[in-house]
């Protein structure tokens, strides 16, 4: 077994060097070095359930904003095929001022990582109540993020935005029929953190997932490799492409084609020009395929991509989403 693992590791290193070192023999960038290290760790630890994180399948298809749309923007409408995601910014009551404060929309890579954290904690604990204490600090560290004041403040802000917002999902079945679901993720929360982050990273706040979301999550959780999230934590688009492939590729029978127009609708929220989107999508997909090497996706004559059945990064023999307590 050890000999086989070493052989696979050597082949992985050679493959990664050939794939990533496109600078003509120059040293790899810090991002690419992290991707190389991540892939090696994934080869060695692919059977370890502690490396599993989870995202809801809906949020692997329709996504949050990449960048802050601005405090004045209270609605985010994202379309993916027949599915529509409507994200609404919320309000929280400030206990110090006794006034309702408007909270902006969640956005970026940090919000996506927090969702994966909340989902993972709920699934592993088999409880809709998530304690945001040392576990979040440990999760941040495992993702390789610095637990400095700026990062902690950003994590807290995105968590508050997620807690205050609510989601509507709609699926168009025909010109005359639409199925719509209100999908509040978090039902109750206590997220007024202390201002002083310099002494200890210990948070006593708690959130409670809504019953509908919690039940749906148990049925539709998509397993992700936390090492892959760690490697892609710098890019919201990379996280979205990775989660999209993770929930889709293992379900494909035969080959499916996805055109550039559909990809831009799904991932090109920040782009007006197709040529710019194609350039960045290709570059980001290359990074994603480095940590999801098993993904079988190939470009077809500049028309789009062929998707083929690919194994999940977290084998079903390793993970099992627990049934809800009492069910």
Looking at residues 288-311, what average pLDDT do you find?
94
Q: Is there a domain that residue 237 lies in?
A: yes
Sign of CA dihedral 150, 233, 127, 49: negative
Residues 151 and 12 in one domain: no
Where are any strands of DSSP class E within the chain?
52-56, 75-80, 83-88, 91-94, 99-102, 129-132, 166-174, 177-182, 186-190, 205-209, 221-225, 255-259, 296-300, 304-308
Least confident residue range of 91-100, 114-123, 291-300, 312-321 = 312-321
Residues 179 and 99 in one domain: yes
Q: Is there a domain that residue 316 lies in?
A: no
Residues 195 and 62 in one domain: yes
- Per-residue pLDDT tens digits for 308-325: 999 988 876 555 555 555
Residues 177 and 241 in one domain: yes
In this predicted structure, the answer to whether residue 260 has a pLDDT above a threshold of 60 is: yes
Residues 125 and 253 in one domain: yes
Q: Is there a domain that residue 318 lies in?
A: no
Domain with 40 in it: 1-45
Q: Is there a domain that residue 267 lies in?
A: yes
Residues 41 and 52 in one domain: no
- Per-residue pLDDT tens digits for 4-58: 555 555 555 455 555 544 444 555 566 555 555 555 455 444 445 567 889 988 8
Residues 195 and 242 in one domain: yes
Q: Is there a domain that residue 322 lies in?
A: no
Residues 302 and 188 in one domain: yes
Please tell me the total count of domains within the chain.
2
Q: Is there a domain that residue 327 lies in?
A: no
- Per-residue pLDDT tens digits for 206-239: 788 888 888 888 888 899 998 899 899 989 999 9
Whole-structure pTM value: 0.79
Q: What pLDDT is stored for residue 43 in this prediction?
A: 46
Residue pair 269/66 in contact by the 8 Å Cβ criterion = yes
Residues 156 and 260 in one domain: yes
Residues 66 and 26 in one domain: no
Residues 124 and 236 in one domain: yes
Residues 65 and 192 in one domain: yes
């Amino acid at each position: 077994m050890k000999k086989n693992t070493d052989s696979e590791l050597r082949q992985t290193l050679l493959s990664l060097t050939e794939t990533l070192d496109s600078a003509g023999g120059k040293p790899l960038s810090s991002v690419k070095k992290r991707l190389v290290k991540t892939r090696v760790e994934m080869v060695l630890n692919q059977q370890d359930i502690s490396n599993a994180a989870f995202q809801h399948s809906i949020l692997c298809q329709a996504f949050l904003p990449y960048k802050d749309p601005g405090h004045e923007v209270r609605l985010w409408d994202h379309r993916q095929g027949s599915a529509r995601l409507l994200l609404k910014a919320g309000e929280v009551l400030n206990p110090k001022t006794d006034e309702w404060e408007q909270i902006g929309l969640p956005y970026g890579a940090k919000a996506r990582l927090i969702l994966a954290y909340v989902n993972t904690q709920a699934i592993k604990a088999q409880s809709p109540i998530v304690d945001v204490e040392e576990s979040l600090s440990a999760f941040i560290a495992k993702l390789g993020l610095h637990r400095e004041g700026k990062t902690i403040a950003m994590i807290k802000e995105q968590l508050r935005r997620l807690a205050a917002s609510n989601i509507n999902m709609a699926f168009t079945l025909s010109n005359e029929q639409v199925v719509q679901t209100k999908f509040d993720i978090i039902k109750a929360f206590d997220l007024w953190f202390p201002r002083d982050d310099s002494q200890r990273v210990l948070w006593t706040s708690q959130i409670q997932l809504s019953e509908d979301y919690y039940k749906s999550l148990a049925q539709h959780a998509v397993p992700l490799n936390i090492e892959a999230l760690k490697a892609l934590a710098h890019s919201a688009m990379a996280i979205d492409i990775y989660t999209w492939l993770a929930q889709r590729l293992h379900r494909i029978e035969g080959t499916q084609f996805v055109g550039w127009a559909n990809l831009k609708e799904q991932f090109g929220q920040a782009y007006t020009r197709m040529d710019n989107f194609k350039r960045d999508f290709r570059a980001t997909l290359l990074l994603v395929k480095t940590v999801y090497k098993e993904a079988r996706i190939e470009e077809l004559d500049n028309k789009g991509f062929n998707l083929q059945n690919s194994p999940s990064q977290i084998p079903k023999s390793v993970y099992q989403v627990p049934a809800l307590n009492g069910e």
